[in-house]
């Protein structure tokens, strides 16, 4: 994430899907979240306001600087500079990976999913987004990104999770830089069984 991207996104509100996913969280579980690829910390800020302990990671130095400034000395925010593959996932009731798993190495995605599953208790929530097979980023970066269709997603998660939401988005929408892009991605809310 370039410094410009961090600056463009740091004042944005959290994504509404986060609030929707929180309604499925078992209130008896600890209020602990992992925010994967947290960027400027927009989801983390919302979660901290709702008294969650937030473990956040992002490989970007710009994200690290933005979060250090934004959450300076916050007792419930812990940032680490990691990629999905190298992160040691602590136990958490919710794992959030919005617009970030796209950048996980395709050869490591199954390993990352296994680590996430291990970090969640029964009833824990996994809120993620995965690229769809028609996203143009795949044709440009097929070695570094992986796309999924609905059936592949269901096969990946059906054994270990109740699939509460599997919503495919296919739309033209500006990216953080304001440039129009065709987006094809899946938003998933999964509850560990």
CATH number reported for the structural domain that contains residue 48 in this entry:
3.40.50.150
Q: What is the pTM of this model?
A: 0.93
- What is the predicted pLDDT for the residue at 1? 41
Q: Dihedral through CA 38, CA 116, CA 46, CA 165, nearest 10?
A: 110
CA distance 90 to 28: 18
CA distance 68 to 91: 23
Report helix, strand and coil shares of the chain as percent, to nearest 5.
30, 30, 40
Arithmetic mean of pLDDT, 39-62: 96
Arithmetic mean of pLDDT, 45-63: 96
Q: How many domains does the chain have?
A: 1
Residue range(s) defining the domain that contains residue 146: 2-192
pLDDT tens-digit profile of 95-109? 999 999 999 999 999
Residue entry with tokens 């970090």: 119
Higher pLDDT, 177 or 33: 33
């Amino acid at each position: 994430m370039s410094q410009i991207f961090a600056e463009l996104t740091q004042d944005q509100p959290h994504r509404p899907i986060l609030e929707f996913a929180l309604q499925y969280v078992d209130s008896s579980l600890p209020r602990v979240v992992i925010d994967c690829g947290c960027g400027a910390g927009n989801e983390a800020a919302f979660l901290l306001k709702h008294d969650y302990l937030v473990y956040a990671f992002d490989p970007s130095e710009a994200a690290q600087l933005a979060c250090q400034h934004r959450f300076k000395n916050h007792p419930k925010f812990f940032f680490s500079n990691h990629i999905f593959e190298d992160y040691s996932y602590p136990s958490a009731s919710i794992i959030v990976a919005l617009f970030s798993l796209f950048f996980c190495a395709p050869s490591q995605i199954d390993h990352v999913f296994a680590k996430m599953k291990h970090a969640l208790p029964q009833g824990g929530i996994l809120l993620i987004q995965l690229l769809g097979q028609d996203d143009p980023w795949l044709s440009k970066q097929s070695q570094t990104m992986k796309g999924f269709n609905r059936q592949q997603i269901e096969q990946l998660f059906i054994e270990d999770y109740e699939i509460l939401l599997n919503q495919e988005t296919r739309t033209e929408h500006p990216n953080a830089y304001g440039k129009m892009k065709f987006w094809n991605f899946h938003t998933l809310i999964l509850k560990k069984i």
